[in-house]
Amino acid sequence: MAFYTLGLTFWIVIALTVVVLGIWIYGLYFNFKKWGMGSTGYQDELRHSFWLFIATWIHEAFKDGIWVFVKTLILDVLLLRRTLRRSPVRWIMHMAMFYGFLTLAALSGLGLFMDIIEHFNLLGLAHQAEMVKGYMELPFDLFGYLLLFGSTIAVLRRFILREVRSRTSAYDVVLLGGVFLITITGFYAEWLRGNSFLIGNAFANPVYAPHFSLLHTILALALFVVILPWSKYMHVIAAPLTILANRGGE
C-alpha cells in the first residue's frame, strides 16, 4: 500500500529524517554543553565545556568501580528499582512506557533502515528487507499496546488522583498528551493500512491510510525527536544519566 502522500517522496522523507535527527543531535549537544557550564568538582570554578561535562559524568558514574556502575544500570536504570520501591503502580506505568517507547523507537529506526535497503535494493536484499518488515508487525503491535497501556495509566492517574491532578502543569499535559496522541494515531495508522498483526485488515482503508501514517510520523518526529531536547522529554536522557552519575542515588 502506498505510504507517501501529499507529494512526499522517499527522498523527501529521508531528507526530513536527516534534518530531524540533526536537530536532535544538536539538541543533545546543546544540553550537554549547558550542563558543562558547571564545575568539575566541589570547589572548582565554572567550566563551560562540553567535554568536561562528559569527563565529569564518567568520573562520577565510575567512582565506585565498574560493578557498581553495571549494578546501577541494571537495577536502577533498566528495572527502575527506585520507582518500584515507592509505588508499584507507577512502576508498571513507567516500565510499560519506557520499554514501549524505547522498543518502538528502535523498531522505527530498523524499519527506516529496511526501507532504505528495499528502495535501493542494497546487496540485492530488497526481498529480505520486505520480509523483515513483515516480521516486525507483531512486535510493533505488542509494544504499541504496551505503550498505550502505560500512557493510559499515566493519563488516568492525572485525572483520578486529586492531589496529582491539582499539581499537574502545562508541562506535564504536553508530555503525556503528546505520548498518548502519538500512540493512538500510531494504532489508527496501522489499522487503516491493514498492517495490524492482531486485527489484520478489518479496518483497512486505502484512501485515508497514507494521511494517517503521515500524521503519525510527523507527530512522532516532532514530539519525540525535535522537541525532546528542549522540553520535559529531556528527562528520558537526563534521569538515567543522573542515576548513573549518583551511583543509584541516596
Q: Which residues form the interface with other proteins (CB under 8 A)?
A: 30-31, 34-47, 52-53, 56-57, 60, 76, 80, 82-83, 86-87, 90, 94, 163-164, 167, 169, 171-172, 230, 232, 234-235, 237-239, 241-243, 245-246, 248-250
**Closer residue to other proteins (CB): 161 or 198:** 161
State in angstroms the smallest separation of the CB of 38 from other proteins: 4
Measure Cα distances from 202 to 119, 129, 190, 195 in Å. 28, 25, 11, 10
Cβ(139)–Cβ(132) below 8 Å: no
State in angstroms the smallest separation of the CB of 20 from other proteins: 16
State in angstroms the smallest separation of the CB of 245 from other proteins: 5
Residue 241 burial by Cβ neighbours in a 10 Å radius (0-12, 13-18, 19+): middle
State in angstroms the smallest separation of the CB of 47 from other proteins: 7
3-state SS class at 44:
coil
**Closer residue to other proteins (CB): 135 or 171:** 171
**Closer residue to other proteins (CB): 82 or 211:** 82
Using the CB atoms, write b or e for 208-237: b if 16+ within 10 Å: ebbebbbbbbebbbebbbbbbbeebbeebe
**Closer residue to other proteins (CB): 119 or 235:** 235
